[in-house]
Structure 1
Amino acid sequence: MKKILFLYFFLCLWFGTYAQGDGVTFKSSDAALQTAFSRAKEMALRYKGKPGDSVGPWYESALPPRMAFCMRDVSHQSIGGEILGLHQENKNMFRLFAKNISESKDWCSFWEINHFGQPAIEDYRNDKEFWYNLNANFDILESSWKLYLWTGDEEYIKGADFENFHEKTVTDYIDRWVLHVDSLLKRPNHPNAPVPFNDEDSFHRCRGLPSYCEGVPNMKMGVDLVGAIYRGMMSYSSILDVKGKRAEADKFRAKAAAYQNSLDEVWWNEHASRYNTYYSKDHKFGMDEGATFLLWFDALKDGERKEKTIQHLLSRDWNIENLSYFPLIMYQNGQPEKAYNYMLHLTDPSTHRREYPEVSYGVIKGFTEGLMGVEPDARVDQVSTLNRGKLATTSEIIDLPILKTTINIKHEGNKATTVSNTGKKKIRWLPKFLDDNGKTVTKKAVWVKPGSSKTINRK
């Protein structure tokens, strides 16, 4: 009998902790939404590394079952990780990427690091022979900025390893890989790539892929890399602003604008009403994957072309990696019903490859930044909110870690929002609502002290 009671107690403790867990939770009058969040959270936390792993705190963010994390996936999963309380994991992984940038690797870092703390053998042979997507440095730079905005942790923008990584990325890395805005279509084929051992050796092709789209042969430049450079430059200029380096910030902001302008001047295909997504070694534009990242990096400024890009993405099926970006992208770009459907689809047990780590973290971002409209800004200790959900649905996110405190946010449809500060640091809350025409209306900001709540009505 004692053994049965002990087993019962152990199972209750284990499954109760695992299913409910400490940390962020989500409640809604829409049962399907609540189930989707629970499934995403449960799946995401399965990828948390084990205590005692040689690499230190980490979570899986690469192709399973490598037991590793790569620069692209970590960049895209990191805010989802913060929402789930994986602060130490993020800090450790980003530190490792930042500190391993080196001239011997042409200012690349290790693309993928395993749980032993070593570059993954699938992607690395030595400093001259390894896999690398050139977007990665800019993605890490941008994500470091976003992590600072979310957490208020200045190491992401002022720590020595991070400062070195960011500065080398926007200078020496650009030079070494010939990524200046006026060189993108003229750069040599595979600059700095090693001589292949034989025709089957893939590293000579993949050391410096100019895109995240890996299935296009003979690519000289991908449009997603242009978008990544733009966003990286913009993030770097914002970091310089925080440091009080205004003139230098303006210089990099102007450089960013030049990359953004090239998207519309060089990459737009008027006949197809779409952006070309790659430029080949035989000097031809083509279309494949890549448009998703133009929205992810918020690189499109022409409203009509952005809308056509969104409609293109909605018009066809994509692999699970692309779809993992869609909940947030669609909520942020006026497609709430599509975003809702993607969140349910990506958490449906029958969905093929939903176990890919980016998926569950992407859904968590979709809920928090997308549906609930949470946008922090550590520069002014501010959190803004905007309900993008259905007008008749009440949704609440509870124990959300943000800006060195924890908060609850409750949207009562589009009528009112309540923010409760359950942590130890006051925050400035900027409430936003959608008016009857679907336009965003910003209310007056209020301070919410620890242990207090504030409710703001739309009208």
Structure 2
Amino acid sequence: MLTLTSSSAYVEEAFVWARKRALDWVRTGPGNLPSYWAGYPSRPMFYSRDVCHQAAGAHLLGLDAENFAMFRHFARSATPARKWFPIWAFHFDGRIADLDYHDDEHFVREIPAVFDLAYRALEQYDWTGDRRWIDDPDLAAYYRHSAGEFVEAHDADGDGIPEAGGTADIFLGTATYNEREAPLLVAGDGLATQYAVLRKLGRHADADRIQATYDGWWNGDHFARGITKDGLDFDWGLESHTLVPLFGLSGTGERNERFLDYLEARMESDPPLNIESFSYWPEFLFTHGRDESAWRWTKHLIDSRDDYPEISFTVVEHLVAGLLGLRPDAPNAAVAITSHLPAEIDNLIADNLPLGAWTVRIHQVGRHTTEVTVLSGPGPLAVTVGTETHSLEPGRTARVTKDLS
């Protein structure tokens, strides 16, 4: 079982709470799919958006069977009759949740979820190295359809980008995860998730075209949140803004830094009403090296002790993958580590960390010393810290120290 120890009692207590609360949400058992609760605590269901965002934390907690069963169930639900949209929510026994489904013409659906499901499923291959994430016929078909037939079915202007209807009716489909922005025809989070999937699938020329489109959304201060019937909309967009750097669409460099400055300012001045929206913030802030801000918002989630399942699962992810800057590549027997420890955490130890067929122990001291031990595995694991790569057989340890003078 994954454990976390630290010089910070606050971190240790937070992890114990998050691990227990997340595991309490597991619903695997007789009559049910291997599954966990992913949605409002008042709704005994699992939702596509929530499963996508809980999957990394679930893997760290050993819930690979649950991840695979739920992702495959969503993949199977994306049919021609539904114009390749997956069903929005299921009960634990696999039944469609009637609350969000009337018929194949009227059910809750949001464009980012289509691509998010594909991206996060492929990301599970990075974490697990399990070939089923690539070879399973239902998942393989879903990857093809999401980047192919789905786009074609919803791309009225032929630019390779699917559009929503621009209504306020989530049962007719929205462009964004932020349902308060339903009039958008195209949204930043839809574009970002499509971009990320195309990169994952190796379709770099198509991804570059998405990038070029988004570059045209810049106004000198920040990117638009999306497009309405009247043109680009530069208002604050929550998910349609914050998921853009999370999936890499805003790139790197000076313009991205200015965009991140804008996001951080608006996150302070106009925070969301729903706690689950906050749960994405540490992820993109850690990714772009804004570690103190990432830690501030991680603590916001921890201190909430909110019972929304997404919070406990993502707190596990932020405390482990976020703080340690983990970039798994289990199919190639590799992992990269980049410390994101904030000033108030002196050291962090993740023990029995699952990476594909390996389990590892990572001891991080500040930003300067990383010690990695391969506890078990089928062979050597390539561990990269900074510019150093060590090939570690099971039972071996590498220690990398950076000169920060």
- Residue identity opposite 2:290 in structure 1: Q
User: Which is worse superposed, 78-87 or 64-73?
Assistant: 64-73
Residue pair 2:374, 2:392 contacting (<8 A) in 1 also = yes
Counterpart of 1:178 in structure 2 is 155
Distance 2:368 2:218 in 1: 41
Q: Aligned to 2:84, which of 107, 128, 134?
A: 107
Q: Aligned to 1:274, which of 203, 222, 236?
A: 222
Counterpart of 1:451 in structure 2 is 395
- Residue identity opposite 2:85 in structure 1: C
Counterpart of 2:328 in structure 1 is 376
Counterpart of 1:421 in structure 2 is 374
Distance 1:314 1:104 in 2: 41
Kindly report the root-mean-square deviation, in angstroms, between the aligned alpha carbons of the 2 structures: 2.2
Counterpart of 1:293 in structure 2 is 243
Change (3 A) 1:140 1:312: same
- Residue identity opposite 1:456 in structure 2: V
Counterpart of 2:208 in structure 1 is 257
**1:144 to partner: Cα distance:** 1.5
User: Which is worse superposed, 104-113 or 334-343?
Assistant: 334-343
Q: Aligned to 2:350, which of 373, 377, 397?
A: 397
Runs of 4+ in 1 over 3 A off after TM superposition: 187-190
- 1:8-407 alignment to 2 at 5 Å? 23-52=1-30, 54-178=31-155, 182=159, 184=161, 189=165, 205-237=170-202, 252-265=203-216, 267-270=217-220, 273-283=221-231, 285-287=233-235, 288-289=237-238, 290-315=240-265, 316=268, 317-318=271-272, 319-348=274-303, 351=304, 354-390=306-342, 393-407=346-360
Distance 1:409 1:297 in 2: 26
- When normalised by structure 2's length, the TM-score is 0.91
Residue pair 2:379, 2:394 contacting (<8 A) in 1 also = yes
Deviations 1:282-306 (A, max 9, x none): 4452423221110121111142232
**1:314 to partner: Cα distance:** 2.0
Q: Name structure 1 gaps, 5 residues minimum.
A: 1-22, 194-201, 238-251, 433-440
User: Which is worse superposed, 325-334 or 447-456?
Assistant: 447-456
User: Which is worse superposed, 354-363 or 149-158?
Assistant: 354-363
**1:218 to partner: Cα distance:** 2.4
Distance 1:343 1:28 in 2: 16
Residue pair 2:374, 2:393 contacting (<8 A) in 1 also = yes
Distance 1:152 1:118 in 2: 29
- Residue identity opposite 1:343 in structure 2: T
Distance 2:372 2:186 in 1: 45
Distance 2:180 2:157 in 1: 24
**1:50 to partner: Cα distance:** 4.4
Three-state SS of the structure 2 residue aligned to 1:161 is helix
- Residue identity opposite 1:367 in structure 2: L
**1:414 to partner: Cα distance:** 3.3
Residue pair 2:223, 2:234 contacting (<8 A) in 1 also = no
Residue pair 2:376, 2:395 contacting (<8 A) in 1 also = yes
- Residue identity opposite 1:335 in structure 2: R
- Residue identity opposite 1:442 in structure 2: T
Residue pair 1:181, 1:259 contacting (<8 A) in 2 also = no
**1:413 to partner: Cα distance:** 2.6
The alignment covers a number of residue pairs equal to: 395
- Residue identity opposite 2:22 in structure 1: A
Distance 1:414 1:96 in 2: 41
Three-state SS of the structure 2 residue aligned to 1:207 is coil
Change (3 A) 1:184 1:425: closer
**1:130 to partner: Cα distance:** 0.7
- Residue identity opposite 1:309 in structure 2: F
- Residue identity opposite 1:157 in structure 2: I
Three-state SS of the structure 2 residue aligned to 1:256 is helix
- Residue identity opposite 2:205 in structure 1: A
Deviations 1:353-387 (A, max 9, x none): 72222222222221222211221112420011122
Three-state SS of the structure 1 residue aligned to 2:57 is helix
Counterpart of 2:387 in structure 1 is 442
**1:431 to partner: Cα distance:** 3.3
**1:152 to partner: Cα distance:** 0.2
Identity %: 27
**1:416 to partner: Cα distance:** 2.5
Change (3 A) 1:278 1:121: same
Deviations 1:96-130 (A, max 9, x none): 01122210111112111111311111111221221
**1:182 to partner: Cα distance:** 2.4
Distance 1:357 1:256 in 2: 32
**1:43 to partner: Cα distance:** 2.1
**1:217 to partner: Cα distance:** 4.3
Residue pair 2:79, 2:86 contacting (<8 A) in 1 also = yes
Change (3 A) 1:119 1:188: closer
Residue pair 1:181, 1:258 contacting (<8 A) in 2 also = no
**1:419 to partner: Cα distance:** 1.4
